[in-house]
Amino acid sequence: MNNALSAVVFDMDGVLLDSEAVYEKAWQAVALQMNLSDIDAVHTQVLGMSEEGAMKILSEHYGPSFNGNAFWKETTDWAFAYEAQHGVPVKSGIPEALEYLKRKGYALAVASSSARNIVEANLKSCGLFSYFDVSICGDEVKRAKPAPQIYQTACEHLGVACNLAVAIEDSKSGIESAWRAGLRCIMIPDRIPADRVSIERSWKVCISAKELISLL
C-alpha cells in the first residue's frame, strides 16, 4: 500500500463498466429514429456528465426547442433494455484491481454521474457493488461533474482527506472534477483519447486497470 494514500474513488461508466459503449449505441439508435445529425460528436461532449449537463449540451446543439428530456428517456430506456438482455461488461483488469486494493486496505468508493438506481443495479448485477464502502451518485449532489462536489462528498463519507485519495477516471469532465477536489488523478481513457489538459492534471495515464496494481 502507498503510505501516502488511503482511499481510491472510481467513476463507474467507462471505468468499472463498459457501459459507455452501450449508451453510445443507444444514442445512435434513438438519433436515427429522430433524424438527428452529428449525434456521435454530441455524445462525445457529454461523456462523464450528469443528465443536467447533457441537457445543456443537447440544447446548445439542437436548439432550445429540442426536447432533451424525451431524448434522454428514450436513450436510457434503450440502454436498460439492451443491458437486461446482454448485461454490462466489466472493464478489463477491474476485478483483479479491486481484489488487490481491498487486500492492501484501501477504502473504496464510487463517484458516478449516473443516478442511484442505475449505479446499484449495474454494479450488483456484475458482482462489484460489495467491494465499495461508499457510493455517491449524480442525483445525490447539487453540482455534478466537472464540479468537485461528488468527489468531495465521497471522501467525506469515507472519512478521508481528499489529498489522501486517488480518483480513477476516463473522461475530461471526471478528471476536472477530481482534480478540483484535490484528489490525485489516474486516467484510463475509454471512448476518446486523453486530452492535453487531462494529461497535465493526471498523476498517471494508464491503458488498463491492471496497472493500478503496480501503481498502488
What angle in degrees, to the nearest 10, is found between the helix axes of 51-62 and 39-46? 150
Average pLDDT score over the chain: 93
- CB within 8 Å of 140: residues ≥ 6 apart: 116, 153
pLDDT digits (tens, 9 = 90+) for 129-153: 999 999 999 999 999 899 999 999 9
List the strands of the sheet with 165-169, edge to edge.
Answer: 134-137, 107-112, 7-10, 165-169, 184-187, 204-205
Q: Which of 176, 210, 184 is nearest to 47 (CA)?
A: 176
R_g (Cα) of the chain, nearest Å: 17
User: What kind and span of H or E run contains 212?
Assistant: helix 212-215
For residue 85, what is its C-alpha cell?
A: 438482455
pLDDT digits (tens, 9 = 90+) for 191-206: 888 999 999 999 999 9
Which pTM value belongs to this model?
0.85
- As a whole number, mean pLDDT of residues 99-121 equals 95
